[in-house]
Amino acid sequence: MLEIEYKGGNGVIIATKQTTAVVDPKLSLIGLKDLDVKNSVEITTEPRFKIENENARLVIESPGDYEVGDFSVSGTSATRHIDAEGDEKIATIYRIEVNDVRIALLGNIAAKLTDEQLEAIGVVDIVILPIGGGGYTLDATNAVVLARQIDPKVVIPVHYADTDITYEVPQDSLDSFTKELGVEVEKVVKYKLKSAAALPSALTIVEIARS
């Protein structure tokens, strides 16, 4: 069983019985409590989202290939949305394989992926991507373009407007993205998936309530 929780910002927890991965846990940047990474795999899409905790099971913060528990993680460098094309690539896109489920984790990246990055992502079942825009993350339009380009079964949107979160710049609403993508929306408290066989047959937005 694979479970995915949404914690606000880019903060996501991906867990199986064997392994828990905590994505971009430094939520104090947006006025929330930092996520606990003790005994968990900490995955950060850019350095400022990292928590310095020696009790993490493993810290993944840069491109490369990693194996931990039942997780296989591959990272590829990327340009952040707020950086110029020629700037150093300090963001990381991840492909995460958990048993037979394949996940793409994008972070606050620039809107256009290179052929090399698309090849590194490959065929995936689930894509987790920010949609709030404001010049800080992908906006609804660019997020829709990438979702169509990657062509997963499930899109999990993150980093959108929330009255309880203080983002550095205003973020667009979730509705902006769901209306533009124009596919079925499944609302859950926590996304649970027994196996890849249980994925929807057509592209679906899974809206996970922030917990």
Residue-wise pLDDT for 129-187, tens only, equals 999 999 989 999 999 999 999 999 999 999 999 999 999 999 999 999 999 999 999 99
Distance CA 154, CA 163 (A): 26
pLDDT tens column, 57-104: 999 999 999 999 999 999 999 988 887 777 788 899 999 999 999 999
The reported pLDDT for the residue numbered 146 is 94
The token pair that represents 181 in the structure block: 């993508």
The pLDDT of residue 86 is 73
Question: Has domain 2-208 been given CATH number 3.40.50.300?
Answer: no
Q: Model confidence at 197, in pLDDT bands (50, 70, 90)?
A: very high
- What CA–CA distances, in Å, run from 179 to 21, 123, 144, 175, 209? 30, 25, 10, 6, 18
The Cα 187–Cα 191 span in angstroms is: 9
Which pLDDT does position 87 carry in this prediction? 78
Residue 66 near residue 96, CB atoms below 8 Å: no
Q: Domains of the chain: which residue ranges? A: 2-208
d(CA 112, CA 109): 8
Whole-prediction pTM: 0.96
